[in-house]
Amino acid sequence: MRLSVPLGASTAFFYALGYPVGAAAVRAATPGTVLVSRFVASAVILAAIVAVARLEWPRGVQAWHAVVVGFLSQGVQFVGCYEAMYAGVSPVLVALVIAMNPVVTAAAAGMMLRERLSRRRIAATVLALAAVGIAFAGRVMDVGHVDAAVAWVVVAVIGLAVGGVYQQRYLTQGHPIAVNTIGVGVALVPALVFATATPQHVSDPAQAVWTIVVLVIANSVIAATLYLAAIRQAGAAAVSLLFGVIPSIAALLTWAILGERPDIGVVLGLVVGAAACFVGNDQAPGRGEAVNVTPSTVSTGTRSGVRHRG
């Protein structure tokens, strides 16, 4: 089955929407405030969906595996992303780095699970590093050095990638939405720690409210649902190709919503990053092997709906 254009386009759009809206949110309130508010609201809504639909929860040790995955893939990732945008990193740059997750995950799996990397994925890893380097060149030149804001983006993608590898290795039970609900709830722990350890304030209450509402409804609910539908229709490998275009859509939305136009370095990085995603996709749909494709981005808290190897 091939991914239909309407479903693929809507999935990519709602994922990409989270980047500029997330950037707008941390301009109205500090990241800790945004994260705690979003995670609480998302957990309540997702838990209600699980209860009404009577979806399967992971049980026993599987529930603890879901806790670890949620802490890394949700908590660490989003703290890193939101703090980076709060420190001035463009949401397009954040989107580009997070979209490299399938490539970074493949490399991490090679080290942590001793999986052999194909030549295509080695080439994709090199392209991904080049894409990020090219895209960040302008910021490094402006600041004069690699600042802490860049480090926060690196923390975000490492948390997401390591969480994805852990999920692939250990998490084998539970409906994806139920697993996602646990993840969002657990992510409250690092979010609360971060909020407690840093000064918090709300400079624009109205903007903070509407942006958090959009993040919860459009991303945690709508984007998650569309993502699962896309996986069901076309398989993980086909859906992973969307992450080659999500940063470009995020760039257009950032321009439209925030009025920020990407510089030439970012544009080149987007092109090379898209190439990395396409080159690294050497898994054929339907082969039954787990492919971690969730950007689980600033924009959403969903986890993959594919089967995972135990």
- Whole-Å CA distances, 307 to 177, 187, 274: 14, 23, 25
Question: How would you class 204 by CB atoms within 10 Å of its CB: exposed for 0-12, middle for 13-18, buried for 19 or more?
Answer: middle
Beta pairing partners, 29:
202
Q: Given this model, what pLDDT does residue 47 score?
A: 94
pLDDT tens-digit map of 100-126: 777 777 666 666 666 666 777 778 778
Domain ranges within the chain, ordered by starting residue: 5-280
pLDDT of the residue at 270: 81
Segments in the chain below pLDDT 70? 1, 106-117, 138-147, 228, 231-232, 235-238, 240, 280-310
- How high is the pLDDT of residue 240? 67
What confidence score (pLDDT) does residue 140 get?
A: 65
pTM of the model: 0.79
pLDDT of residue 299: 43
Give the pLDDT score at 300: 40
Q: Report the candidate in 189, 164, 179 with the shortest Cα–Cα distance to residue 240.
A: 164
